[in-house]
Amino acid sequence: MIPLNKPFLPPQHEYQDYMNDIWQRNWLTNHGPLVKEFEEKVSEYLGSEKMVFTANGTTALQIAIKSLDLKGEIITTPYSYVATTSSIVWENCTPVFVDIDETTLNIDPEKIESAITGRTSAIIATHVYGNPCDVESIQKIAVKHNLKVIYDAAHCFGTRYKGEAIYNWGDISIASFHATKPFHTVEGGGLFTHDKELKKKMRYMMNFGHDGPYHFQGVGINGKNSELHAAMGLCNLKYADEIFDKRKKLSEIYDNKLNELPVQRPEVTENTIYNYAYYPVLFESENAMKSAAGYLSSKGIETRNYFKPSLNQLPYVDKAHVPVSESVANRVLCLPLYFDLTEEMIDIVTGSLEKSMLEYQ
Ligand SMILES: *Cc1c(COP(=O)(O)O)cnc(C)c1O
């Protein structure tokens, strides 16, 4: 059995050391010393604005939308995890889907302007698979039309664009540290913004709006994270370089072995230091994808159609014409990629893939 994903775990005694300290202090949550330390160390590691550590990436996205007071229509990508769209709908805004670029699989900036109306308040784009969007073009459009920009950068820990953490782009960027992501805190998320006032507002919002014990700055929610999750983050941060080096090495082994097969790979944006967050391959047709996935599954190899369905097909959104996204969602398969994966296991995956594709033809 080769799973799709296996979360990285640090040596248990290293986590235990943090637990001993937590037991001594008996300070479990509410912006404790480990949460503070984690926020600082993440920003040091990334060279980014100081992060706000949240309960998860979805809450971060919802707080981001709320803090910017977005209304009406939000232009967004149909090719992402469901949380990108569901957060927009949850905050009572209407997602307007703009199709993706067929090489990077990110929102196509050339199609954004024709989707802007008098009701458009923002663009929420995903750097899908950790690969940067065309952030410069998106920025230009946003400035021209006075729109806010939020990046769903859930896949992006470790990705750098033109030498900088990709989280530095947009009015707000959000991170996810869910266990399935390359760098995780079990559950967790992050908010990044250059705007100090906005950051303050988001800090109030994620703590019920508390401004002291009996005074409230505004409406809030509970979006905090705990000392135990911060401890996992601090442990894992020590291994972050090792994790990303390993993912790069494994991805390159895949690249070499898949060279001869008729599968397409998304292109990494220029000037990017990529984090190898996933290993997606695109087949020529939905049937070719299904036949490969079925064969791999019969050999005990787990794969997944990240990201399916194309989000314009969710039952609670208006219809949209986004043929590239729909086509990609029907042909994509993510192959196993995680720290403990070995070259021998990749051999089994790619060997099986080759066999299934020969049989299919
Ligand atoms: C994982 C993910 C999220 C949600 O993050 P959680 O931390 O699981 O809430 C949001 N958007 C994208 C694109 C994701 O992959």
pLDDT along the chain (361 residues), means of 10: 97 98 97 98 95 98 98 98 98 98 98 98 98 98 98 97 97 98 98 98 97 96 98 98 98 96 95 97 96 96 97 97 98 98 97 87 58
pLDDT of 355: 93
Domain boundaries, the chain: 12-237, 240-360
Q: Is 104 in the pocket of ligand 1 (CB under 6 A)?
A: no
- Out of 107, 124, 152, give the residue to mutate to test ligand 1, the one with the largest number of ligand atoms within 8 Å of its CB: 152
- The superfamily in CATH containing domain 240-360 is Aspartate Aminotransferase, domain 1 (3.90.1150.10)
**Fold of the 12-237 domain:** Aspartate Aminotransferase; domain 2 (3.40.640)
pLDDT of 357: 87
The whole-model pTM stands at 0.97
Q: Is 155 in the pocket of ligand 1 (CB under 6 A)?
A: yes
Q: Is 176 in the pocket of ligand 1 (CB under 6 A)?
A: yes
pLDDT of 360: 64
pLDDT of 361: 58
**Residue nearest atom 6 in ligand 1 by C-alpha distance:** 57
Q: Is 126 in the pocket of ligand 1 (CB under 6 A)?
A: yes
Q: Is 277 in the pocket of ligand 1 (CB under 6 A)?
A: no
Cα gap 322→210, rounded to integer Å: 43
